[in-house]
Chain A
Amino acid sequence: MENTNLNNQVVNLTKEDFVCDQIVKWCPGCGDHAILKVLQDVFPQLGKRKEDICVVSGIGCSSRFPHYMNTYGFHSIHGRACAIATGVKLANPNLSVWVITGDGDCTAIGGNHFIHAVRRNMDMNLLLFNNRIYGMTKGQFSPCTFRGTVTKTSPQGTYEDPFNVGELVIGAGGKFFARGVDVNTKELTDICLRAKNHDGMSVIEVLQNCMIFSNGVHENITGKDVRDDMQVKCEHGKPLIFGKDRNKGLRLNGNKLEVVTIGENGITEKDILVHDEKEGTTGIHMMLAHMMPPAFPIAIGVIRNVDAPTYDDCLTDVIERESAKSNIKTVDDLLNSGTTWDIK
């Protein structure tokens, strides 16, 4: 990939430019390894100097990520990655900022920062590794754990409903939401590049498997024998068709989505809902994000991708406008403005 350095000379970056000398300490078989490889593939394609990329994380297994990426990185404290990344981006809008977080870090302790970063439309990319469990603290339920799941802190099963990350993002006014699977690296790479091209906050939920504490939690979606029937790929302008035989589709029936079979009951491809990621209203995107097996396939790919002004651009614009029109150019000017008097 071609990049330019400070003197606008073209430099070619490769995956190796982003590999760190630190030993990767995730468990063997952890989905995080695959995601690391994806971003090491994506970063040379950002069109940025490697010095202009910053990875920010909170606390948890996923949050070790910055240590394994040879960029500027900030591994911070539990839940605060969005807040820290916001400061990084506002301080230097030229940086490409990537937030790495998990379901506990992002939707429990960091929930407030997350929804507000989404609402403000900060120009950052966020990968939420969703394994529906607290891994680093060894197996407690998270806000994304399904009702009834037995964990260390729910020996009788949980009695609370989980967050659906997509609904949370869209509900918070999110403009870009995508969902991918850790092991589908090609697909995830494409999603990350789409996120990079989106101006504003991009949230990517990665269904990630924790071998130790929630092994197989996504098996009903990702399992070889079910994945074609349980995943529908969202592609802009294309009908939402899925299934082993590519004969199933999503149809809008009244105000609800339903799964239909092409060729049955007179259903043709024309009846199938065509995905429009650019739709400003949230209704259908919300329904797509909401879908869960077994009644529905899960929506994969870019579900929502709507253009809107970003917070950092707005701040930059106000600063440029105000500094151009003001007579006060320095703090000395300010100190001497307004009511002053001389003592002689």
Chain B
Amino acid sequence: MANRTKVVELEHVVIRFAGDSGDGMQLTGNLFSDSTALAGNDFATFPDYPGEIRPPQGTVSGVSGFQVHFGHKPVHTTGDLCDVLVAMNPASIKANMRWLKPGTTIIFDVDSMNDKALEKAGYTSDPTQDDTLSQYKVVKAPITSMTLEALKDFGWDRKAMLKSKNMFALGIVMYLFNRDITMLNGYFNTKFKNKPEVIKANQTVVAAGYSYADTMEIFANTYRIEPANLAKGKYRDITGNVATAWGLMAAAERSGRQIFCGSYPITPATDILAELVKYKNLKVKAFQAEDEIAGICSSLGASFAGCLAVTTTSGPGLSLKSEALGLAVMTELPLVVVDVQRGGPSTGLPTKSEQSDLMQAIYGRNGDAPLIVLAARSSSDCFYSAYEAAKLAMEHMTPVILLTEGALGNGSEILRIPRVADLPAIVPPIAKANDPEWQPYKRDEEKLNRQWAIPGTEGLRHRISGLEKANGSGNLSLDPKNHQLMVELREEKVQRVANFIPEQEIVGDPNADLLVVSWGGTYGVVLSVVEKMLEEGKSVAHAHFRHIMPLPKNTAKVLSGHKKIVVCENNNGQFVNYLREKMPDFKYEQYNKIQGLPFLTAELENKFNDLLK
């Protein structure tokens, strides 16, 4: 199908599909991102579900959204303000006003407008008639009636036909971005296998939407985004939670250990457990426990018995796991705890993202109980972070907390598919049967770890305990000097991990006036802003931390030589205070956003420019 309007080239676009929970917006978004992949763009997506399972229809709280950020240049984030909003009802406009910017194109199903819908959305007058939307380009498309028209020969009832109205909207969007609608066929054929009638209906409605946009000339111009300059290879779309599960599975395979995951459902981490339970075919042992404590305890038991042991949770669950984490520190067993952070404290904002479990991860246990803390920086990076967490846990015989975030877990990005054999080797220090030199707490000179003596192995019977043990023999010991030695050894063991992790990287001039520091899921947005400012010739640099405990060896060097350092995070200042403690020779500015919302590029840019003045 030829596109007759003027075509404008864009670097990147943010599009948000919004509708009532039953309007199929997640499917629409997924279909659009699939075609984005075929168009060769880089992209990231983010679903924005309502917190409730069946919220009241037509209301603002019932709006379900799916955002796709795609581009010709590398896409680092799921996007903030949108270029295009597809709104299937008035509530979808109301719910997404925060994400609009002057000039945003709103594709609105004008058939959804009536007094009742306005009232449910909380509008007192029609926003498309008053000046509510005066800053935006509103395309009023009769999506519902045109869908019914397109399907009139199918002999379906009205309700069945209306299920396809999201496809009409998708057709319009495909036209707007000069996409060939046959790109969608592959998805239809898989999704609706054995339902040829449904495939045909979807294709018909998409084509109708496309033709409508074309013949009615509803857009002054359309857009094209050139393929991104991505490295050669095979790609897939992956959410952070799936990437976490697969990264752990890859680590199990590479290390020759079976994986065991004991977990308890909690938003937004549940999907990792739900993913792992699928892979019985790959011998994944995933166990839904009776509570968070049983989740970590069963995993620790499995670790003792020789598995790569994992437990997954979110903030409140991490609190419940504290005591058992102390036991993992004491027994010096490998364990990966994944905390998909959400807004806290307490139940907080369960469906919103935050970075506020950092202090809990670093310090949240009784006694001096050091462990490794890592933070993933993006959805696809969850794969590599989970892999590294498992590698460090097993090779250094220690628990590791991997911090991800709700937005990373639910969001998706493209992943260049790696080969497991190309990932770094994982060599756990497994004790050999009948080794006369072996002792339960005899340590490696370099790493200070003990060996993993796995039940079933001849000649290595031993007992471990949460009680203090004599270094070497592992016998229970209340000897005062031994306790001090063991506390120091456990700390030193974790600190020495710094000898085995990469040095901290810095983007931009290592002596830039302003060093922007971030960690975790704010990576993409902070990097985007710094890159833009670098292009503008500003004296700014970016250090994004993946390794939190221990910090990379060159951290002090990275922090040196700047006029100002600003630490940006989605909490009230946890990493900045950690740096103040660990790296006290520097003065830190901070920028904190604690609204359950990501940083906007504009707000960061303003802050950084202010600091540069």
Binding site for B on A (CB under 8 A): 5-6, 20, 22, 49-52, 54, 56, 59, 66-67, 70-77, 80, 82-92, 94-95, 112-113, 116, 315, 318-319, 321-323, 325-326, 328-332, 334-336, 338-344
The one of B280, B298, B307, B460 that contacts A84, using a Cβ cutoff of 8 Å: B298
Distance A51 CA – B231 CA, assembled complex (angstroms): 51
A80 proximity list for chain B (CB < 8 A)? 293-294, 297, 324
A46 CB to nearest B CB, Å: 14
Q: B234 near A342 (CB under 8 angstroms)?
A: yes
9-residue interface stretch from B120-128, B461-469, B516-524, B540-548: B461-469
A340-B235 contact given A84-B297, A85-B301, A87-B305, CB 8 Å threshold = yes
A329 proximity list for chain B (CB < 8 A)? 281-282
Binding site for A on B (CB under 8 A): 34, 37-38, 40, 186-187, 190, 230-237, 246, 249-250, 253, 258, 260, 262, 279-283, 285, 287, 289-291, 293-294, 297-307, 309, 323-324, 326-327, 331, 417-421, 455-467, 475-476
Q: Which residue among B233, B303, B465 has the maximum number of chain A CB atoms within 10 Å of its CB?
A: B465
A321 proximity list for chain B (CB < 8 A)? 280
Q: B306 near A92 (CB under 8 angstroms)?
A: yes
Q: A74 near B282 (CB under 8 angstroms)?
A: no
B304 proximity list for chain A (CB < 8 A)? 72, 74, 84, 87-88, 91
Task: Identify the closest chain B residue to A337 (Cβ).
Answer: B236
Q: 14 pairs across A/B with beta carbons < 8 Å? A: A71-B461, A72-B461, A75-B466, A84-B300, A87-B299, A88-B455, A112-B294, A321-B280, A323-B283, A325-B281, A328-B279, A329-B281, A338-B236, A339-B236
Distance A156 CA – B130 CA, assembled complex (angstroms): 74
Q: A116 near B290 (CB under 8 angstroms)?
A: yes
A54-B324 contact given A72-B462, A341-B235, CB 8 Å threshold = no
Q: A334 near B279 (CB under 8 angstroms)?
A: yes
The one of B34, B456, B465 that contacts A95, using a Cβ cutoff of 8 Å: B456
Q: A52 near B281 (CB under 8 angstroms)?
A: no
Q: A331 near B461 (CB under 8 angstroms)?
A: no
A52 proximity list for chain B (CB < 8 A)? 455-456
Q: A76 near B260 (CB under 8 angstroms)?
A: no
B72 CB to nearest A CB, Å: 13
Task: Identify the closest chain A residue to B42 (Cβ).
Answer: A343
A342-B235 contact given A74-B464, A87-B301, CB 8 Å threshold = yes
B190 proximity list for chain A (CB < 8 A)? 339
Interface of B is mostly: mixed
B416 CB to nearest A CB, Å: 8
Q: A75 near B455 (CB under 8 angstroms)?
A: no
Task: Identify the closest chain A residue to B235 (Cβ).
Answer: A341
Q: A335 near B246 (CB under 8 angstroms)?
A: yes
B326 proximity list for chain A (CB < 8 A)? 77
Distance A332 CA – B249 CA, assembled complex (angstroms): 10
B37 proximity list for chain A (CB < 8 A)? 339, 341
Q: Which residue among A20, A50, A74 has the maximum number of chain B CB atoms within 10 Å of its CB?
A: A74
Q: Which residue among B37, B298, B464 has the maximum number of chain A CB atoms within 10 Å of its CB?
A: B298
Q: A323 near B281 (CB under 8 angstroms)?
A: yes
A326 proximity list for chain B (CB < 8 A)? 281-282
B281 proximity list for chain A (CB < 8 A)? 322-323, 325-326, 328-329
Distance A49 CA – B253 CA, assembled complex (angstroms): 28
B3 CB to nearest A CB, Å: 23
Closest 4 CB pairs of A and B: A87-B301, A326-B281, A83-B297, A87-B298
Distance A133 CA – B294 CA, assembled complex (angstroms): 25
The one of B298, B418, B461 that contacts A51, using a Cβ cutoff of 8 Å: B461
Q: A335 near B236 (CB under 8 angstroms)?
A: yes
Distance A92 CA – B260 CA, assembled complex (angstroms): 11
Task: Identify the closest chain B residue to A71 (Cβ).
Answer: B461
Distance A85 CA – B305 CA, assembled complex (angstroms): 10
Distance A132 CA – B307 CA, assembled complex (angstroms): 37
Q: A50 near B461 (CB under 8 angstroms)?
A: yes
Distance A80 CA – B298 CA, assembled complex (angstroms): 9
A66 proximity list for chain B (CB < 8 A)? 463, 465
Distance A288 CA – B279 CA, assembled complex (angstroms): 44
A87 proximity list for chain B (CB < 8 A)? 260, 262, 287, 297-305, 307, 309
B287 proximity list for chain A (CB < 8 A)? 86-87, 90
Task: Identify the closest chain A residue to B309 (Cβ).
Answer: A87
A88 CB to nearest B CB, Å: 4
Distance A87 CA – B239 CA, assembled complex (angstroms): 28
Task: Identify the closest chain A residue to B290 (Cβ).
Answer: A116
Q: Which residue among A86, A87, A88, A113 has the maximum number of chain B CB atoms within 10 Å of its CB?
A: A87
Distance A288 CA – B271 CA, assembled complex (angstroms): 45
Task: Identify the closest chain B residue to A56 (Cβ).
Answer: B301
Q: A330 near B298 (CB under 8 angstroms)?
A: no
A91 proximity list for chain B (CB < 8 A)? 258, 260, 285, 301-307, 309
A123 CB to nearest B CB, Å: 14
Distance A71 CA – B306 CA, assembled complex (angstroms): 16
A67 CB to nearest B CB, Å: 5
A77 proximity list for chain B (CB < 8 A)? 297, 323-324, 326-327, 466
A88 proximity list for chain B (CB < 8 A)? 301-302, 304-305, 455
Q: A323 near B280 (CB under 8 angstroms)?
A: yes
B59 CB to nearest A CB, Å: 34
Extra 12 A-B pairs, beta carbons < 8 Å, given A83-B262, A326-B282, A330-B420: A76-B465, A80-B297, A83-B301, A86-B287, A87-B262, A88-B455, A91-B301, A329-B281, A331-B246, A336-B417, A341-B37, A344-B232
B230 proximity list for chain A (CB < 8 A)? 343
A22 CB to nearest B CB, Å: 7
Task: Identify the closest chain A residue to B297 (Cβ).
Answer: A83
Q: B302 near A336 (CB under 8 angstroms)?
A: no
A76 proximity list for chain B (CB < 8 A)? 297, 300, 327, 465-466
Distance A132 CA – B471 CA, assembled complex (angstroms): 36
A316 CB to nearest B CB, Å: 9
Q: B458 near A5 (CB under 8 angstroms)?
A: yes
B531 CB to nearest A CB, Å: 22
Q: Which residue among B290, B302, B475 has the maximum number of chain A CB atoms within 10 Å of its CB?
A: B290
A322 proximity list for chain B (CB < 8 A)? 280-281
B302 proximity list for chain A (CB < 8 A)? 87-88, 90-91
B237 proximity list for chain A (CB < 8 A)? 339
Q: B293 near A83 (CB under 8 angstroms)?
A: yes
A340 proximity list for chain B (CB < 8 A)? 234-236, 417
B462 proximity list for chain A (CB < 8 A)? 72-73
Q: A335 near B466 (CB under 8 angstroms)?
A: no
Distance A83 CA – B327 CA, assembled complex (angstroms): 13
Distance A89 CA – B306 CA, assembled complex (angstroms): 11
B459 proximity list for chain A (CB < 8 A)? 51
A113-B246 contact given A340-B236, A342-B233, CB 8 Å threshold = no
Distance A112 CA – B291 CA, assembled complex (angstroms): 8
Distance A66 CA – B474 CA, assembled complex (angstroms): 14
Distance A113 CA – B290 CA, assembled complex (angstroms): 7
Distance A332 CA – B234 CA, assembled complex (angstroms): 12
Q: B300 near A343 (CB under 8 angstroms)?
A: no
Q: B461 near A343 (CB under 8 angstroms)?
A: no
A126 CB to nearest B CB, Å: 14
Q: Which residue among A22, A331, A332, A336 has the maximum number of chain B CB atoms within 10 Å of its CB?
A: A331
B297 proximity list for chain A (CB < 8 A)? 76-77, 80, 83-84, 86-87, 113
A319 proximity list for chain B (CB < 8 A)? 280, 283, 285
Task: Identify the closest chain B residue to A336 (Cβ).
Answer: B417
A59 CB to nearest B CB, Å: 8
B381 CB to nearest A CB, Å: 15
Distance A339 CA – B293 CA, assembled complex (angstroms): 37
Q: A67 near B463 (CB under 8 angstroms)?
A: yes
A332-B301 contact given A75-B465, A83-B289, CB 8 Å threshold = no
Distance A91 CA – B187 CA, assembled complex (angstroms): 39
Distance A102 CA – B380 CA, assembled complex (angstroms): 47
